[in-house]
Structure 1
Amino acid sequence: MSTPNDSWKSAELRAAEAQVDARFKEAQDLANRLKETPLPPVPPVDFKAIAQQVERAAQERDAPEQLKALKRKVDAGEFTWEDVVSGKAAQDPDVQAMQQENVKKMKQAFQMLQEGMTADEIMEAQRPRRGPDDDGDALDPDIFTEDKW
């Protein structure tokens, strides 16, 4: 960064320029090393398996309303579950609503992580709430748990 006529610069400014030059060279060296570093191949995404999981979730009684709206459209033939999970149906307002809800939950989960909660605690906190008289039968009568004895 020095020029032929830089006698006006203070020692502190020259030291700062030297630090900038050194950091810039380090950044260039790192960029060159990264260019030469082969990246592992990205595994293919199994959209069919993901679509099957989403479809099963949409069939649950306590599925979110956004997912139920998508199920109605899939059932009507507007698009498939694979279209939803692969992004082909991303312009659909109901797909966007579901994505917004998912982003909201991810933000909440991130906040909970920052507050020190564990993954299990976060999952429990985001699980749909049941009323005080609900023994679970209303949401899933096929599951037999100890609290139903």
Structure 2
Amino acid sequence: MSTPNDSWKTPELRAAEAQVDARFKEAQDLANRLKDTPLPPVPPVDFKAIAQQVERAAGERDAPEQLKALKRKVDAGEFSWEDVVSGKAAQDPDVQAMQQENVNKMKQAFQMLQEGMTAEEIMNAQGPRRGGGDDGDEMDPGVFTEDKW
């Protein structure tokens, strides 16, 4: 990083530049090694099955309002449930609202983890907002509920 006229640089600045240069070289070396590292194939995602679960959840009487808004758009033919779950409808404001709600739940869960809560405590705290006393364990795991969204 030095230039012919860098006499103005302090020893601390020179040391910092040397550290930046070393870290940059490390990053380049790592990137070069990763280029040659084969990655395992990504398993296919069954968007159709996920879409069916979301569609069932959207049809429930106590479905969240954001999900009901998406159902109205799907029913109107604006897009399909597969478009929603595969990301093809990601630019839609209602899809974004649902995604933002999910991000908020993940942030909340992460904060709870940092505070020392267990996964079970977090699941109970973020549990479904549905009545009936079902904590999700008694239900068929293939049945979509809001807490699995």
Structure-1-length-normalised TM-score? 0.68
Rounded to whole Å, the distance in 2 between the matches of 1:59 and 1:113 is: 33
Rounded to whole Å, the distance in 1 between the matches of 2:33 and 2:13 is: 30
2:109 maps to what in 1?
A: 109
Q: Structure 1 residues 47 and 4, CA, compared in 2 at 3 Å: closer, same or farther?
A: same
Any idea what SS the aligned residue of 2:62 has? coil
Rounded to whole Å, the distance in 2 between the matches of 1:75 and 1:95 is: 14
Matched, 1:87 2:87: yes
Give per-residue Cα distances to partners, 1:112-136, cap 9 Å, x unaligned: 1111222222222122447xxx7x2
Any idea what SS the aligned residue of 2:121 has? helix
1:57 maps to what in 2?
A: 57
2:97 maps to what in 1?
A: 97
Q: Structure 1 residues 129 and 12, CA, compared in 2 at 3 Å: closer, same or farther?
A: closer
Write the mapping of 1:115-130 to structure 2, written as runs, cut at 5 A.
115-129=115-129
Q: Give the superposition deviation at 1:9.
A: 8.5
Q: Structure 1 residues 53 and 16, CA, compared in 2 at 3 Å: closer, same or farther?
A: same
Any idea what SS the aligned residue of 1:55 has? helix
Q: Which amino acid aligns with 2:119?
A: A
Structure 1: give runs of 5+ residues left out of the alignment: 138-142, 144-149
Rounded to whole Å, the distance in 2 between the matches of 1:20 and 1:44 is: 40
Rounded to whole Å, the distance in 2 between the matches of 1:93 and 1:8 is: 54
Q: Give the superposition deviation at 1:18.
A: 5.7
Rounded to whole Å, the distance in 1 between the matches of 2:37 and 2:11 is: 39
Give per-residue Cα distances to partners, 1:96-118, cap 9 Å, x unaligned: 22112111111111111111222
Q: Which amino acid aligns with 2:75?
A: D
Q: Which amino acid aligns with 2:118?
A: T
Q: Structure 1 residues 78 and 9, CA, compared in 2 at 3 Å: closer, same or farther?
A: closer
C-alpha RMSD over aligned residues: 3.1
Structure-2-length-normalised TM-score? 0.68
1:74 maps to what in 2?
A: 74
2:136 maps to what in 1?
A: none
Q: Which amino acid aligns with 1:51?
A: A
Structure 2: give runs of 5+ residues left out of the alignment: 134-138, 140-149
Give per-residue Cα distances to partners, 1:41-85, cap 9 Å, x unaligned: 222221111111211221233321100111122223322110111
Give the number of aligned pairs.
134
1:146 maps to what in 2?
A: none
Query: RCO (CA 8 Å, sep 6+): is it higher in 1 or 2?
Result: 2
